[in-house]
């Protein structure tokens, strides 16, 4: 049995699906990234596989953190699958730039940074 949850799943059904997974009724729990990042704890999980990166890396981090919760007794492995020369690869590069900016801001070394027209054009242009 596979369990599935996305943004259209009602809250009461979400709780039921998560409870089934936590009890071991299914070894596979599929979720859209944003739905998986909100209000669920998956301490029965030991693998998180990301297939579709989100523009905001914090959303991905939040989804991965669902398996890294209080009560987790297993080591959790996160796998990110990215196809080369796709927009997903460009999104991943944008994540890296955002992380660098965040680190610079927290270190107090940041110059003003913004996404330029060229950055946006690069995201949608072929390789």
Q: Tell me the helices (H) and strands (E) count for the chain, helix number first.
A: 5, 4
pLDDT score at 19: 92
Residues 8 and 70 in one domain: yes
Same domain as 94, residue 62: no
Same domain, 58 and 10: yes
- Print the domain residue range for 127: 84-127
Q: Is 19 exposed, middle or buried (0-12, 13-18, 19+ CB in 10 A)?
A: exposed
CATH of the domain at 21: 3.40.50.300
Q: Which residue in this structure is represented by tokens 């991905």? A: 60
DSSP H or E run through 2: strand 2-5
For residues 48 and 76, the answer to whether their CB atoms sit within 8 Å is yes
> What does pLDDT average to in each consecutive run of 10 residues of the chain (127 residues)?
88 90 91 77 86 80 79 85 88 83 71 67 73
This model's pTM is above 0.75: no
What confidence score (pLDDT) does residue 26 get? 92
Judgement on whether residues 70 and 10 belong to the same structural domain of the protein = yes
Output helix, strand, coil percentages for the chain, rounded to the nearest 5: 45, 15, 45
Same domain assignment for residues 94 and 77: no
Between CA 31 and CA 8 the distance in angstroms is 11
**Same domain, yes or no: 13 and 36:** yes
The verdict on 1 and 58 lying in the same domain is yes
Total domains in the chain come to 2
Domain final residue, candidates 81, 99, 119: 81
């Amino acid at each position: 049995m596979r369990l599935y949850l996305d943004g259209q799943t009602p809250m009461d059904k979400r709780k039921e699906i998560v409870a089934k997974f936590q009890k071991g009724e299914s070894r596979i729990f599929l979720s859209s990234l944003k739905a998986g990042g909100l209000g669920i704890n998956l301490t029965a999980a030991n693998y998180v596989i990301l297939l579709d990166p989100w523009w905001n890396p914090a959303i991905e981090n939040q989804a991965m953190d669902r398996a890294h919760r209080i009560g987790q007794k297993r080591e959790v492995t996160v796998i990110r699958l990215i196809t080369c020369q796709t927009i997903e690869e460009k999104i991943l590069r944008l994540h890296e730039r955002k992380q660098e900016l965040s680190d610079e801001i927290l270190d107090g070394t940041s110059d003003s940074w913004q996404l330029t027209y060229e950055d946006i054009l690069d995201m949608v242009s072929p390789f």
